[in-house]
Amino acid sequence: MKSILGKLWIGIILLVIIILGIVWLFQVVFLNEFYLNQRVNDLTDNGNKLVKLMEKEDINNIRQSTIEDIQYFSQQYNSKIDVIDKDKNIVLSSGTMGGPGMRMFSHFDISQVFTGQKISFQSVRPRFGTPVIFIGIPISTNNNIQGALLITTPIAPIKEASKVLQAQLSIITIISVAIATLLAFFLSRIFAKPILDVDQAARRIANGDYSVNLNIKSKDEVGRLGKTINELSMQLGKVDALRKEFISNISHELKTPLSVIKGYAELLSDNLSEDERKKNKQNIDIILDETSRIDKMVKDMLLLSQMEAGFNELNISDFDISHLAEEVIKKVSILADRYKVKINLIKKTQDNIVKGDREKINQVLINLVSNAIYHSHPDGVIGIYFESIIDNEIKISIRDYGEGISEEDIKYVWDRFYKADKSRKRKESGTGLGMSIVKNILEAHKSVYGIQSKAGEGTTVYFSLKREVE
């Protein structure tokens, strides 16, 4: 699960389930063992207190107060207490388990008690077969064993209690998971929302939208990050405005001197004698070609600056996109012949009337077809496809089988000054602004557009236009 909202929700649910699992583990699986250990410890601790009282007096002449303590202990823990001397004769017996005349301990090995060791174990009452806990504690005076305190107590029916507890825990678990699911959902939304807002804002900034203004009121790390994003957006917006203004001003300033240089170069070429023209033709052609190339770059920069500044009004009309494509093929035929590339027009629809700005779509097609020619192999083929898609639209695709674009570079194709041919060996490879101009024109038309490419296999660029409204 990639969403942070889902991860938080799953994390909270897992935490609740783990806690409930631990409760089940200790309350059901380990309940019997825990109960027995606790029972033995309680009986042993209280037995030790009684033994300390009897060690201060004659075991055969126990004081009444001690007898009362033994009786109280017996009733409190529902236990049978036997005090025996070193000859295993009963000196005092308390409780109702088997009665004072029944020497239950005779069935157990209590020899270790008379060596000064405490013993405790689980066993079964010989008469009734019920489980009991048996504890033996030696009674000594001046390090001489005088007798022993024997405690026998029944074990409560843990299995029945465990079943009741399991039923109760099952209900608690279902209710807890249901409540935790709802709380996890709402809490994860509360915690994740500002993070998702920051992520969305960062994506908008990455796409060139600097109008981001996050409203995160928390004063924690996320709140501080939101404030930083706002400051970053504002600073980048200022830098971008300065950049656009700079490019626009430079474009205007360069346009006039370039026109003058080109004009004088053409005038110089026309006024040369035949011998001088032959001698200087190459140099003059280089001046004219480079001037034309820079002039085209300046015009593209100026056009792109106007588009990005919002001066991109569309002259919408109905026109036949297939006829426009045929005109574009004729315009780029010289370039296609130079690179020995064939262009095929493939119509999968009969009605190709669309709504849009014909001149700007013309520029889109010229830029895309020219790019396809530049990056096709000699004797290659380019296909221009028309097909109907949903929502009363026509999809136009330009497909070449040339160099293709690597996966790491394809995301930069629509950036200004990007060139897939990084070696820049081809003189006619363009200014690097063509795809940015295409992007702005298509976005102004609210067109769905994209690019698919694989290095070494070619590239397909597509966009859609609405059909003529009847």
Which contacts (CB < 8 Å, 24+ apart) does range 162-168 have? Answer: 162/28, 162/31, 162/32, 165/27, 165/28, 165/31, 166/28
Of the candidates 428, 365, 429, the residue with the CA atom closest to the CA atom of residue 397 = 365
The DSSP call for residue 101 is T
pLDDT at 308 over 80: no
Tell me what percent of the residues of the chain surpass a pLDDT of 90. 16
Q: For 4-26, what is the mean pLDDT?
A: 80
Question: Which regions of the chain carry the CATH code 3.30.450.20?
Answer: 4-159
pLDDT score of 470: 46
pLDDT score of 99: 43
The model's confidence at residue 1, banded by pLDDT at 50, 70 and 90, is: low
Q: Is the pLDDT higher at 363 or at 108?
A: 363
The DSSP call for residue 95 is S
pLDDT score of 464: 93
pLDDT digits (tens, 9 = 90+) for 112-155: 888 888 998 887 766 666 788 889 999 988 888 889 999 988 87
Give the CATH fold of the 221-308 domain.
Helix Hairpins (1.10.287)
pLDDT score of 324: 93
pLDDT digits (tens, 9 = 90+) for 373-416: 988 999 899 999 998 877 688 999 999 998 888 888 888 888 76
pLDDT at 29 over 90: no
Of the candidates 366, 383, 382, 361, the residue with the CA atom closest to the CA atom of residue 463 = 361
In terms of DSSP bridges, do strands 353-357 and 342-347 run parallel, antiparallel, or are they unpaired? unpaired
Of the candidates 273, 263, 297, 268, the residue with the CA atom closest to the CA atom of residue 283 = 268
pLDDT at 320 over 50: yes
Asked if residues 187 and 88 have their Cβ atoms less than 8 Å apart, the reply is no
Q: Is the pLDDT higher at 225 or at 364?
A: 364
DSSP 3-state assignment of 351? coil
pLDDT score of 358: 92
pLDDT score of 101: 37
pLDDT score of 399: 94
Question: Which regions of the chain carry the CATH code 1.10.287.130?
Answer: 221-308
Question: Highest-confidence range of 168-172, 229-233, 392-396, by mean pLDDT?
Answer: 392-396
Question: Highest-confidence range of 2-6, 175-179, 191-195, 431-435, by mean pLDDT?
Answer: 175-179
pLDDT at 272 over 70: no
What is the C-alpha separation between 28 and 49, in angstroms, rounded?
32
Phi first, then psi: what are they for 26, rounded to 5°?
-85, -30
The CA-based angle 16-22-26, given to 5 degrees, is 150
pLDDT score of 138: 92
Q: Is the pLDDT higher at 306 or at 97?
A: 306
pLDDT score of 426: 44
Asked if residues 79 and 151 have their Cβ atoms less than 8 Å apart, the reply is yes
pLDDT at 343 over 90: yes
Give the CATH fold of the 316-466 domain.
Heat Shock Protein 90 (3.30.565)
Tell me what percent of the residues of the chain surpass a pLDDT of 70. 79
For the domain with range 4-159, which CATH number is right: 3.50.50.60, 3.30.1330.20, 2.40.50.140, 3.30.450.20? 3.30.450.20
pLDDT digits (tens, 9 = 90+) for 143-158: 888 899 999 888 766 6
Of the candidates 287, 422, 291, 398, the residue with the CA atom closest to the CA atom of residue 336 = 398
Q: For 264-273, what is the mean pLDDT?
A: 70
pLDDT digits (tens, 9 = 90+) for 63-120: 888 888 888 888 888 888 989 988 888 888 886 444 443 455 566 678 888 888 899 8
